[in-house]
Homo-oligomer: A and B are copies of this chain.
Amino acid sequence: MSSNDATSFGTPDEAYAFAAPFRAPRGSPIRELFKYVGRPGMISFAGGYPSKDLFDREGLERALEAAYRSDPIACLQYGDTAGALPLRRSLARLMGARGVDLGPDDIVVTTGSQQGFDLLLRTLIAPGDTALIEEPAYPAAISALRLAGANIVTVRTDRDGIDVDALAAQLYAWPPASRPKLLYTVPTFANPTGSTLPRERREALVRLAQAERIVLVEDDPYGELRFAGTPVPPLLALADGCPGARDWVVYFGSLSKIVAPGLRIGWAIAPAPIARRMIVAKQTSDLCTAPLAQEAARHYLDSGSLAPHLRSVVGAYRSRCDAMLKALAHFAPNDVEFSAPEGGMFVWARLTGGRDAGEVLKRAIERNVMFVPGTAFFVHEPDPSSLRLSFAAPDEAEAFEGARRLASALSF
């Protein structure tokens, strides 16, 4: 990260009348770890990045060439704010395979799914409005809610994700004057916990959102990275089984974790009145998502390369996750609990003996292994006893060795 410190500007912060959410900007605790990533021999479980070793470089090069050669003007000129129609058609087919029946006009292409959530917040959330979020949660979602000035209220999760009964009780007791407008969740292979919401809870959650008229935000970047267990339909697919519920679900998809983040291609599926406003907000945000990347993504999706690529990525993540969990089971002390995800990129660990993950991190870095302390994933009261371990980046042998080193750091 550029710190922008090495400038000739001498005016102190206080000279500027910043908007309220920016009075005290927070640095990301995850980014603080970056300085250690490049250290020789370091094995990192810290990143939330897909493995660079697993990109389909050749397939993407072919897609890029095909896109540019078949229609250079479409790659170089401004494009529709809602996204290029050919890409939206390809994404509609992809969503069909996920069990969601829709057409290209139901899809808005976004500059990563991060932008989708940001655009949604800009249409729905005025400063002071209440928004619900599962906890622990994806930090950039928390940041986006903070930037929007939302009154953030957390929703309890257990090893299977959101506790829908507890949420229902929470909502029934809610004062009518400050009803929450939305609930954000990553129901499949959650970041940071790796947990997946079971089908019954999904159906109950969709019913609850519809009954309570709360926009249910389903962020689904990892859903296709399943390496164990039985697939569960997205909330958006299940909404079709509950009359009226489709009007209360907003879905975000992304190519970042299944193809490549560098394309910055995400998509949003929202009820029409919300989608229309998101498009207006996108006009002032970036006019359109890079047409060059949209065309390349479309050619990649239409090439048939995604399915074999996903099989290869999912196989690698399975063996990396297995290696990590095997080493942890063998070497780690008994007072540490680990989740066993069925897919995605993350294992969640809890120190039941009262130790602090920040202290463990210091000892881990001494041993050339890194992770993200769980405190990064909490809104109000950080839990110092949890750790997020990503098995996406290291190869199988490194995953085993890194987990062995981590076990050593945990043994004090």
A residues whose Cβ falls under 8 Å from a Cβ of B? 1-13, 15-20, 22, 25-26, 28, 49-50, 52, 55, 57, 60-61, 64-65, 68-69, 72-83, 85, 88, 102-106, 108, 111-112, 114-115, 118, 122-127, 129, 140, 143-144, 147, 179, 181, 213, 215, 244, 246-247, 256, 260-264, 271-277, 279-281, 283-293, 296
Residues on B with beta carbons closer than 8 Å to the beta carbon of A112 = 286-287
Are B61 and A68 within 8 A (Cβ)?
yes
When A77-B52, A77-B260, A82-B4 are in contact, do A124 and B277 touch as well, CB less than 8 Å? no
Given A147-B281, A264-B286, A290-B264, A4-B105 contact (CB < 8 Å): yes
**A215 vs B262: C-alpha distance when bound (angstroms):** 33
**Roughly how many angstroms separate A115 CA and B60 CA in the complex, as a whole number?**
27
Once A64-B64, A127-B127, A290-B262 are accepted as A-B contacts, the answer to whether A2 and B55 lie under 8 Å apart by CB is: no
In the complex, the chain B residue whose C-beta lies closest to that of A49 is B78
In whole Å, how far is A252's beta carbon from the nearest beta carbon of chain B?
13
Report whether B13 and A273 are in contact in the complex, using a CB–CB cutoff of 8 Å.
yes
- B287 A290 Cβ-Cβ under 8 A: no
- Distance of A138 Cα from B182 Cα, bound (Å): 34
Asked whether, in the complex, the Cβ of B285 is within 8 Å of the Cβ of A115, the reply is: yes
Q: A17-B179, A264-B287 are in contact. List 16 more A-B contacts (CB 8 A).
A: A6-B105, A6-B106, A7-B105, A7-B275, A19-B125, A22-B280, A55-B73, A61-B68, A76-B260, A76-B262, A76-B263, A122-B147, A140-B287, A147-B284, A262-B292, A264-B291
- Given contacts A55-B72, A213-B15, A280-B22, are A288 and B264 in contact (CB under 8 A)? yes
- Tell me the smallest distance from the CB of A282 to a CB of chain B, in Å: 10
Q: Is the CB of A18 within 8 A of B114?
A: no
Chain B residues lying within 8 Å of A260, measured Cβ to Cβ, are 76-77
- Knowing A72-B55, A263-B290, A272-B7 touch, does A104 contact B2 (C-beta < 8 A)? yes
**Pair A124/B19 contact, Cβ less than 8 Å:** yes
Number of copies: 2
A111-B290, A276-B25 known; A140 vs B4 contact (CB < 8 Å): no
Q: Which residue of B lies closest to A101 (CB)?
A: B8
Contact B125 A9 (CB under 8 A): no
With contacts A57-B72, A111-B111, A286-B264 taken as known, whether A272 is within 8 angstroms of B4 at the C-beta atoms is: yes
Nearest chain B CB to A15's CB is how many angstroms away?
Answer: 7
Q: Do B247 and A11 have beta carbons less than 8 Å apart?
A: yes
Q: Which residues of B contact A256 (CB under 8 A)?
A: 78
CB pair B9–A247 under 8 Å, yes or no, is yes
Residues of B within 8 A of A6 (CB): 103, 105-106
Name the residue on B nearest A143 (C-beta). B284
- With CB as the reference atom, state the residue of chain B lying closest to A119: B285
Minimal Cβ-Cβ distance residue in B for A65: B65
7 contacting pairs across A/B (C-beta < 8 A) = A4-B272, A5-B272, A11-B273, A26-B280, A78-B261, A127-B127, A264-B288
Q: Which B residues lie within 8 Å of A49 (CB)?
A: 77-78
With a cutoff of 8 Å between Cβ atoms, the chain B residues found around residue A246 in the complex are 8-9
CB distance from A272 to the nearest CB of B (A): 5
- Which residues of the partner chain B approach A28 to less than 8 Å between Cβ atoms? 283
Q: Is the CB of B4 within 8 A of A108?
A: yes
For A284, list chain B residues within 8 Å (CB): 114, 118, 140, 143-144, 147
Q: Are B286 and A181 in contact (CB under 8 A)?
A: no
A283: chain B residues at CB < 8 Å are: 28, 140, 143
* A22 engages B106 (CB within 8 Å): no
In the complex, the answer to whether A181 meets B77 with C-beta atoms within 8 Å is: no
| Distance to closest chain B CB from A185 (angstroms) | 18
A247 and B125 contact, CB distance less than 8 A:
no
Chain B residue nearest in CB terms to A291: B262
Task: Please indicate the chain B residues that have their CB under 8 angstroms from the CB of A102 in the complex.
Answer: 7
